[in-house]
Amino acid sequence: MKVLRESRASRFRRMLYADLREVLAIEKRAYEFSWTESIFRDCIRVGYHCQVLETPHGFIQTYGVMSAAAGEAHILNLCVRPELWGRGLSRRMLEHLLELARTAEVQSVFLEVRPTNTAAVRLYDSAGFCEIGLRPGYYPAAGGREDALVMAKEL
C-alpha cells in the first residue's frame, strides 16, 4: 500500500456521493464497527457538514461529518487514513469543522468518543473539549458494548 504524504497543498471540500467508495474503504480500515454507505449517503442528503481533506492528486486523507442546527453542532465522525495517523490530520479536520460551526453561528459543539480511543480523547481535550457525561453501552464492541464519553466545547 502506498503511503500518502500530508501536504499543506491539501484542500478541504464537501464530501460527494462519488467519494463514498474511497471514504468507506478508509472507514472500514480505521474502525472495527464502521459506518455504512447508507449512513454517509443520508448525512450528505440532509445537508450535514460532510467534509474531506484531499491531496492535490485527489486522495482523501481525512474526512469529517458534523450536524449543526439551533445553535448546536455535533461532530458525528472524524476519521483519518490509518497509514497517515500521527501527522496532525485529525487536528486539521477538527479545526476545520469548528470553523464551519462558528460560521453557522453555533455556540456549543458536542461529540461522543470511545474512552479506549486515547489519542482522540487527548486531541479533543487539547482542543478545549470537556467531558460532560457518559453514555453507557453506546458503541458496539467485540465483547458487547462500550461506553461513550460525551464531550462539549463552547465557541
pLDDT at position 9: 85
Please indicate, yes or no, if residue 1 is contained in any of the structural domains: no
Please indicate, yes or no, if residue 61 is contained in any of the structural domains: yes
Please indicate, yes or no, if residue 4 is contained in any of the structural domains: no
Please indicate, yes or no, if residue 30 is contained in any of the structural domains: yes
6 belongs to the catalytic site: no
Provide the whole-model pTM: 0.92
Residue 84: pLDDT band by 50, 70, 90 thresholds?
very high
The count of structural domains within the chain is 1
Asked if pLDDT for residue 155 goes beyond 50, the answer is: yes
- Report the candidate in 67, 98, 68, 94 with the shortest Cα–Cα distance to residue 79: 94
**Mean pLDDT, residues 63-75 taken together:** 98
Place of cell 460532510: 50
pLDDT at position 8: 62
Classify residue 81 as exposed, middle or buried by CB count within 10 Å of its CB (0-12, 13-18, 19+). Answer: buried
**Domain span at 69:** 11-154
CATH number, domain with residue 143: 3.40.630.30
139 belongs to the catalytic site: no
**For the stretch 100-139, what's the b/e string if a residue is b when 16 or more beta carbons lie within 10 angstroms of its beta carbon?**
bbeeeebeebbbbbbeebeebbebbeeeebeeeeeeeebb
Annotated active-site residue in 6, 22, 112, 131:
112
CA distance 125 to 91: 11
Q: Hey, what's the torsion of the CAs at 59, 81, 92, 73, to 10 degrees?
A: 110
Annotated active-site residue in 27, 124, 139, 146:
124
